[in-house]
Structure 1
Amino acid sequence: MANNIYTPRNSKNYYLRVTIDGKEYRESLRTTSKRVAEKKARDRIKELRGKAERGESDWLFHAGFTGFYDSLKHFDPDHGWSAKTRKRYQTSLRQIGLTLIEVFEERGDDIETAGAWEIDLKTISEFVAMRKDAGVSVATINRDLTAFNHLMSHIKNLGWIEMNPVLQFEKAGMKESLPDIVLPTDAAIQKLGRRAPGTLAVFPAFLDATGGRVTEISMIKWADLKGIEKPVEGHVTLTLRHTKGRKIRTITLRQQAVDILLKIRRSNRSPYVFWNKTEDGYYRSAANMFWDYAQETEFGARLHDIRHKFAIERLKEGWSVYRVQRYIGHGSVKTTERYYFRYLSQEQQVIAEADGNVGL
């Protein structure tokens, strides 16, 4: 049971993390007592397994989101919204969904497996910050928050959450608090890789060399690489297709990444770079596997934090913020600034902002 409970950074409470039938669940156990947490975890796992056997949705945010969105397709006398209002709310909801995907990806999480309770005050604050980063007007953000408020009220009425975080946000104001980033050391990354099987042995190092997201890197194919026949920096490119919002981007690989690729034995049966022997051909649950390996090796960070390490190191060595933003796939350069400039000196920030056209 000890493997299923943990205390995340910036929290004294124990959390449950368990995978049942291929679906990962993470939630607060709302206690600082390990003994109490273990008992709550046992009960919760039993409950989740029962729901899985019955095929029931377990209070996942996307289930509440989908149900509310679909309810707007037709007139409902309970709320009495006009067709124009329902259409406006659906437009806002689509944007809310896309932005929350980005919010959770920057945490290294998946919105598809998020419980309704994980959409909290900090999530709403980050949603607003990302909308601002995208240059959206305050009026539009407020319209989105109105739809968001109705969505979370709907989920609250289902009994899935105790408080509506949008209402909490409106009372607290537009204050933003980003969590501190724990950067893994090079030695920790190497140790983590040594614990992993097959081609995953070099997966953490490849993340460190590219700054990619776990999902988009785990699904790359050899066909996505160009110029590998001349394996030198500046000649090899990688096209990432399984990205946030399916926005394809192509990056030029640094020599560190090229050298790692040259160590990987290709499979005759799988087109994937990080292949395995299952029918999928790639490591669909790479993030889940590495979470276990991280506990065993005392990694001290999340796999996703390797991406943050890449961005901060490139900025410190002189890449422009515009180049880093394009390379790692942030939707806005302001998001890159918000996450990483707090780790740069004043001089480094000036250098990072100095070249807005082509980057260093």
Structure 2
Amino acid sequence: MSNKEEKPKNIFKPNNSKYWWLRVKIHGVTHRESLRTTSQRVAEKKAKGRIKELRGLDEAGELDWSFGAGLAKFYDVLGLESSSWGAETRKRYRCSLRQILRVIDGYCDDIGCNIKDLMAAEITTAVVSEFVSRRRAEGVTVSTINRDLTAFANLMRSIKNDGWIETNPVQNYEKQGMKEILPVIVPPSEASIQKLSARAPGTLFYFPKFLDATGGRVTEMAMLLWSDISGFENPVEGNVQAILRNTKGKKVRAIALRQEVIDILLKIPRSNASPYVFWNSTEHGYYKDPSNLFWEYGQETGFNARLHDLRHKFAIERLKEGWSIYRVQKYIGHGSVLTTERYYLRYLTEEEKARVSADGDNGIR
């Protein structure tokens, strides 16, 4: 019998972090937090203890340490007249909290997670930086952003006082001079995508490569219907398009399918019982939580990335291939070309940057 302890499936190291993180699902809700260690052995030990603690809190009805829960609690406190803040301050803070929730929700959607699953510990200095960048892109004034940051700092201070986080990321952001911090993008390799696909069951076998070839968000592609694909009677590029309905903000958009995507679709078997492209035999007929499923598969295959990183890979490759920044923005569904520029232009040469921005806003090249 081997004395080597099997690696737990509930620890992982994000690409942009030196620390190991815990990820555990309790009653269908995924909880994540930094284990604040670079040692896998220590992380495994801390994870076991933390999972036991979390399950105890769950049984006692006290498990509630998500960012959304912290924001809701602070928002409610600001509604009390007995609060130590004046009426105008409380009103201003509550207005800022609504903007913080809206912007962070958009950020979560763009990185492929649900804000309901976002833990307080995942609000890092980089996330605060992203919040500021998005508010600037919306054209709000510096004074308004500073007011938002004051409310944000007090929110995270409240969460810190509850013991949910160790440091206040807003204060850290302000100390380092409001320097913009963007997450490092490490596109998955073709070999790792193939290994991930081989581990997935049923129609999910085709899902990673489909995301890689379309740049789509996980949810919008997981719920794609065969009836929303037109032109398939002549399955060649230029003749086939897909209507995406389950998009961010429910803004329906159409994309012309590249030949690589069409060839994948031609291989996917259809179901008489389910109308979905990526169907299964469940009552609803599709995979409701592919991100979590593939996280588990990724731990087994050494994928070391998220499904959403395939979206980043698509965008960077299309820009290097010659697509304009506007075409990429419209194709992947970014609300503003500024978001596309901020995330991806840093991975291009100066020559490539000039080329992708040269066609104006016609989005055809």
Task: Tell me if TM exceeds 0.5.
Answer: yes
1:262-301 correspondence to structure 2 within 5 Å: 262-301=266-305
Worse-matched range after superposition: 215-224 or 104-113 = 104-113
How far apart are 1:87 and its partner, in Å? Answer: 4.2
- Which ranges in structure 2 are unaligned for 5 or more consecutive residues? 1-6
1:168 is matched with which residue? 172
How far apart are 1:86 and its partner, in Å? Answer: 4.1
Residue 327 in structure 1 maps to residue 323 in structure 2: no
Residue 19 in structure 1 maps to residue 25 in structure 2: yes
1:178-226 Cα shifts (integer Å, max 9, x gaps): 2321112223222321211111010011101110111221122223323
1:122-145 Cα shifts (integer Å, max 9, x gaps): 110111112223333322222222
Within the candidate set 208, 214, 218, 1:214 is matched to 218
- Report if the CA contact (8 A) 1:232-1:258 is conserved: yes
- Provide the secondary structure at the position in 2 that maps to 1:357: helix
- Provide the secondary structure at the position in 2 that maps to 1:251: strand
1:147 is matched with which residue? 151
Amino acid paired to 2:250: R
Q: Work out the CA distance in 1 between the residues paired with 2:310 and 2:89.
A: 43
Are residues 135 and 251 of structure 1, via their aligned partners in 2, closer, same or farther at CA, if it must alter by over 3 Å?
farther
- Provide the secondary structure at the position in 2 that maps to 1:282: coil
1:78 is matched with which residue? 83
How far apart are 1:354 and its partner, in Å? Answer: 0.7
- Provide the secondary structure at the position in 1 that maps to 2:30: strand
- Provide the secondary structure at the position in 2 that maps to 1:340: helix
Q: Work out the CA distance in 2 between the residues paired with 1:75 and 1:58.
A: 21
1:36 is matched with which residue? 42
2:4 is matched with which residue? none
- Which ranges in structure 1 are unaligned for 5 or more consecutive residues? none
- Report if the CA contact (8 A) 1:21-1:52 is conserved: no
Amino acid paired to 1:57: L
Worse-matched range after superposition: 99-108 or 208-217 = 99-108
1:110-259 correspondence to structure 2 within 5 Å: 110-259=114-263
Total equivalences in the alignment? 358
- Report if the CA contact (8 A) 2:15-2:305 is conserved: no
Amino acid paired to 1:121: T
Q: Work out the CA distance in 2 between the residues paired with 1:194 and 1:160.
A: 38
Are residues 140 and 249 of structure 1, via their aligned partners in 2, closer, same or farther at CA, if it must alter by over 3 Å?
farther
Are residues 263 and 65 of structure 1, via their aligned partners in 2, closer, same or farther at CA, if it must alter by over 3 Å?
same
Are residues 277 and 41 of structure 1, via their aligned partners in 2, closer, same or farther at CA, if it must alter by over 3 Å?
same
Amino acid paired to 1:180: V
1:76-131 Cα shifts (integer Å, max 9, x gaps): 2223432x554443332222112112323344333211221211211101111122
Q: Work out the CA distance in 2 between the residues paired with 1:230 and 1:22.
A: 42
Q: Work out the CA distance in 2 between the residues paired with 1:51 and 1:270.
A: 39
Residue 51 in structure 1 maps to residue 35 in structure 2: no
- Report if the CA contact (8 A) 2:14-2:304 is conserved: no
2:14 is matched with which residue? 8
Amino acid paired to 1:52: D
Q: Work out the CA distance in 2 between the residues paired with 1:221 and 1:105.
A: 21
Q: Work out the CA distance in 1 between the residues paired with 2:232 and 2:100.
A: 39
Q: Work out the CA distance in 1 between the residues paired with 2:189 and 2:167.
A: 39
Q: TM-score, normalised by structure 1?
A: 0.91
Q: Work out the CA distance in 1 between the residues paired with 2:231 and 2:61.
A: 48
Q: TM-score, normalised by structure 2?
A: 0.90
- Report if the CA contact (8 A) 1:219-1:272 is conserved: yes
Amino acid paired to 1:120: T
How far apart are 1:306 and its partner, in Å? Answer: 0.9
- Report if the CA contact (8 A) 1:266-1:273 is conserved: yes
Amino acid paired to 2:13: T
1:316 is matched with which residue? 320
Worse-matched range after superposition: 290-299 or 206-215 = 290-299
Within the candidate set 70, 75, 100, 1:69 is matched to 75
How far apart are 1:234 and its partner, in Å? Answer: 2.5
Amino acid paired to 2:33: E
How far apart are 1:161 and its partner, in Å? Answer: 2.3
Are residues 86 and 238 of structure 1, via their aligned partners in 2, closer, same or farther at CA, if it must alter by over 3 Å?
farther
Are residues 327 and 136 of structure 1, via their aligned partners in 2, closer, same or farther at CA, if it must alter by over 3 Å?
farther
